[in-house]
Chains A and B, each alone.
Chain A
Amino acid sequence: MEVNPLNIFFVKSDSKGDRLLFRYPYTTENKDESKQKKYGRHNPYAINSTEDLLQNPQSQTSNICKGQLSGFTDEMLSTLFAVKAELCNRKFELKVNDVRFVGHPTLLPYRTNKDDTATMILINIVFALQASASHSVVKCYYDLSKRLGKALRHEEKRCSYLTEEMKIMLAAHDEVSVLDSEMKSDNDEDEDNLRHSVSSATYSSENGADNTPKSAFHLILQRSSLARSMKSVFEELSSTGIVQCRINKWVLLSFCLPHKAHQIHNRGLIIEPETIDKCLQKLRPYHGILLMVNPNELLGSIPLDSSSALLRLIKLYSPLKSLQTLAIEADLTLKQVSQLTGHLVYWAKATVIYPLCESNVYVVAPGANVHIHSPLVEEFAKEFPTLCLLQMLSEFSLPAPLWYVSRNGSGGGGGGRLARCVAWLLRRRLLLQLHTYVQFNSPHWGRDPEGKEYYCEKHDIFNQSCSVSFSSLNQMQLNVPEPVEPRETINTFPDSDEDYPTENNLNQTDFSHTKPIVIESEHIKYDKFRETDSANHSFDDGIDVVDGIKPTNGCDYETKADKVQKKIQGNSVDSGISSNMNGTNNHNGNGEIIENGHTDIVKTELSIDKTDSDKKSLPSRLSDISLKDSETTLNKDTSSDEDKFESDQDISPRIKMNGMMNGGEKKNGVSLNLKLQSEMSMDFSFQPPTVWNVPASCDVIDACRIPNEPPTTESLLDTFTAEERAALATVPASKNTDDLLLLAQLHKKGYFRGEQHLEEIMFMENVSRSQLMQLLDKFKDVLITFETEDPAVAMLYPYQ
């Protein structure tokens, strides 16, 4: 509640002195009540010891009475808010007892009536808040005050709007005071007496002074459009936190108080702009967005002059799509998309999620309201008539992939419904997604590569005072590994497929109910679901290769491909699109792919891998590190382009295979696209490369390089220290070069430091989930996994 404003004031100060022109709300508590309260505080039987100087007169400690401001006269406030010229155009912040006033005094040139000589006038639009309001709330209000000031300055310059409005307000004040002085001349003496004694300072204000302005402000509200604007600002702030108001029917003032706005959807959820900033910094291309409102309504509420990029993004929105996919489809850069995401999150129109997919693991969020009579239960029942919210939540008591929940759970009714349901629960922050993180069990706990010990700020002090030598603990022993039956890699693929079923019909489920724009039409949404998405990929994992039968609708893609073709950048980032092109070429021919074919492919893949690793190690210039270090290397010269071309050729049989198999599928995930990218880059590698402004965090380009870079086992093993290698040697799985290579590759890139979850590794490194799971299983003696939430997403959850 503390984010709501208590009051809004409009004060002017010019050569004629200062004046409180308008305030809203202007009704103050009536005299009797305040008097009762005064007596209520004291025990009537207590002796009133006037002698006690420290107790009497009792000082006032609160200026808020029943949610309204009390104890301030208008005259007093106007003197406080009419600041000296030195303090103009900067933040004004004053705290009196438990009320905080925030404003931005604005000095502006002002035309007086008689002549056109401009004098300066100071206006200050001040918000009264509860003092307990956090600093970031105060900052937002300050910003709003500043914007209002700017709008008024603009309107004054354009058409003397302020002059006119002030004239109306002053006239109303005068009118009322004339009437009033006639009526209550007898009250004045009384009032004066009260004012001059300290003891009555608190309550005197309520006596005479307030009856006068009450009607004056009422008159002003009827006559002045500026007053009405301020009233609407106040009311919108108190109700939704989103202000859309046109000053003088001309200047549009859009403002959002995120602390309040997020509470519309989730009561008690306070999200500060600082949190949103932090979240955006952690945003990665595999994250997705989940709109809090109906996209059609959102499109309707967006002003006409909004950015077309935003409109495109919302039109293409689906909770199944990653930001990367959205960027490709909406023809935007990743940076633009993440900025737009930040915008949507700020305005409480969206939240950040990992795209919905069936391999996602959800649990009930720790802060979830599971009270049996919570309003959420009703809302849920309205949305999903046959389901019970609490029963639904109890399905998520154990961390299981979504497909498992939908298969076993009573909350069935088809995967589409489940997806809609999960989206609903995610919007209400009732579910939290768990990810698996991997930590390499290194002997160098707590040391950076140079062998220095790292201390976080909190534990640094402890270090200084601690005398126990930690180094003795560093010798690591590994448990004797259980004998793992060495088996053919080929066989392991189907094995793992059992864990991650390939043929569950849930794969075919359409999540499209969550698709906003078209809800009815069946086949279109089907297509939408099959659109490129890393999320899809992540739960299809091995399935990418195994079942290739997917319904397609090519024409959609053809047009897109055409469009895209014009702007093919000859660069990996576009790969998602290029795969679509592939898809269009192949989609007619996509037939059933039989299991044998699958194994064959795997075989070929592996053999290629082996030969690759045996015969060559590419020069380091292609290594991801060099690319990572200098984004400018994207601006490659021709020679490196040729190298790329060569390397692509080396790898192409595998890619081609995959391409043939999967090209027909409309659902190819981003990582699949990345595979196909190399094919594309073969086609287009002679086009001049263009610089892509990819944020450093989006190492998509790295991901594309993996197949192109088969380094030797030796070079990769360098990333392990001697002790680590010794530990590795005891693991039977390390006899298998391929496994070891993959492990070393991933380790080298720092994926085993507990920072990146499996989905991120899959996305970045173009490996399938089953591959990873096998790797984790084989090396479970050196790799430790733990499940926890993604901090970037969890940030937007209520404090636990």
Chain B
Amino acid sequence: MDGKVKYYEGCGQEGPIRCIFLCEFHPTAGPKITCQVPENYISKDIFDTVSHYIIPKVQLQRCTLTVTLLGSKILGFPVRIDNKKYARNAYYFNLCFVCDAWARTVHLEPLVKKLTEYLLSMELETEWLSKQSISGEAKALGGLMRQVMQDINSRRMCTLTVGTTTTHLTVVRVNSDPTPVKDHQVPVFLYSRHSFVADQWDLTTNQILPYIDGFNHVSKIAALTDVEISLVRACVQNLVYYGVVTLVPIFQYCAVYSATPKLRQLTRCAGLQRQCVEFCARTPRQLPKVSDIFRMYAGMSYGSTIRDLCRRMKPQELAINERKLVLFGVLEGLIRRVYKFPITLHNDDSASIISDHSQPLVRTYNGLVCLDELCCQSGLSALQIEEQLERDSNVIFIVK
């Protein structure tokens, strides 16, 4: 019942592999399932209706095909081997994964392809597949498919060994490309660093890892680790893609945050409260009160900086670490950062007025660069920059 509500078609969630089968083109009987795990998941009738998508015409060989019908999704990668030794001079086969119709299956496509190519190479070398199909038992194949299904469903990775050959299969989440990382952004771990297996990552990533603490921004990490900044950016982007870290705005006392509608969750969800209280505490011995934390968050609005808030609320007396408070709020989506964008308006007389400015070249601001980024680029504090900009009558600020 619950499952039906949660899993509807298009929910965008991944589902387990329900079945794996190998289908081939029999010289006399036509398309048929050689081996299926578990047995009879795809009935003969269903198979007959969809068989021409599973053993398709010639042009569709070596294409990832996904067909959704009758409540299930069938993924395949049809392959043909031309050789005189086979009846009809060719051997067609397709290894298919079956999932529920609601499930997302894009991430399984490379898996199907790789597994098929593994089988293909074994077939070419030792006729591993065709021999089994002729014998009609296909025990080895069945075992292999069962192992794939179990391991992928439970561990999302699988190591297959047949004879002397080995192949590794891993499910890789398919995400859209992460946006470029900017120097002023702060990477922060999404889960405990202890569960992070450092061996799986490259050397540069390992070098910058200790400095990812949720407060250091990218250019600071680069300075601290003595790594070229573009490498740090690339590493962080890579970590973002794999969902290890996320990027949050840099903490500054002059920063402005605004509560989001999600803030009211804090009044309701005890789990969130507990997490929040523990995270935001100055010391683990003295935990702050939820109501104080909520008051702090509620006080964050357009026009009031963290500095103002701290002066008013005195978080140190409430046992609240305001940096962690902000970090937690941003990570949980309780608050969002409000950025300030300087914009140069094009007035015709602008050039003459600012000519005596300290900087020789007057910069124009196009509305895409926020103050944080400017600070980071120029190495000035936000206050200095703001002062500088306010002297310029053509610059206006948009806060959003």
Which A residues are within 8 Å of any B CB, using their own CB?
53-54, 57, 59-60, 63, 71-73, 76, 79-80, 83-84, 86-87, 90-97, 131, 134-136, 138-139, 195-196, 198, 201-202, 204-205, 363-366, 368, 370-374, 388, 390-391, 393-394, 397-399, 434, 437, 439, 441, 445-447, 453-456, 458-463, 466, 468, 470, 473, 476-477, 753-755, 784-791, 794, 800
Contact = CB atoms under 8 A, between A and B. Distances in A.
B268 A456 contact: yes
B19 to A, nearest CB: 18
Contacts of B258: 363, 787-788
A95 B67 contact: yes
A370 B295 contact: no
Give the 6 A-B CB pairs with smallest separation, nearest first.
A459-B271, A135-B10, A446-B270, A786-B298, A59-B62, A364-B400
Contacts of A399: 301-303
Among B82, B289, B299: residue with most chain A CB under 10 A: B289
Given A454-B270, A459-B269, A462-B275, A366 B400 contact: yes
Nearest to A139: B10
Contacts of B338: 366
A439 B58 contact: no
A364 B398 contact: yes
Q: Give chain B's interface secondary structure class.
A: mixed
B368 interface: yes
Contacts of B57: 76, 79
A289 B302 CA distance: 26
B396 A54 contact: no
Contact of B273 (A373, A393, A470, A755): A470
Contact of A76 (B59, B346, B398): B59
Interface in B235-268: 258-261, 263-265, 267-268
Interface string B309-347: 000000000000000000000000000101001011110
A439 B271 contact: no
Contacts of B271: 455-456, 458-463, 466
Given A94-B66, A460-B271, A468-B278, A391 B396 contact: yes
A445 B345 contact: no
B9 interface: yes
A363 B268 contact: no
Contacts of A364: 398-400
B287 interface: yes
Nearest to B400: A364
Interface string B357-376: 00000001111100000000
A73 B59 CA distance: 8
B49 A84 contact: yes
Interface string B65-106: 111111000000000101000000000000000000000001
Contacts of A96: 60, 63-65
A205 B57 CA distance: 13
A79 B400 CA distance: 54
A57 B62 contact: yes
Contact of B345 (A87, A134, A388, A397): A388
B336 to A, nearest CB: 7
B4 interface: no
A371 B302 CA distance: 21
B121 A397 contact: no
A434 B400 CA distance: 12
Contacts of A135: 9-10, 12
A139 B10 CA distance: 9
A439 B399 contact: no
B274 A71 contact: no
A797 to B, nearest CB: 12
B272 interface: yes
B201 interface: no
A786 B299 CA distance: 7
B400 A368 contact: yes
Nearest to A439: B267
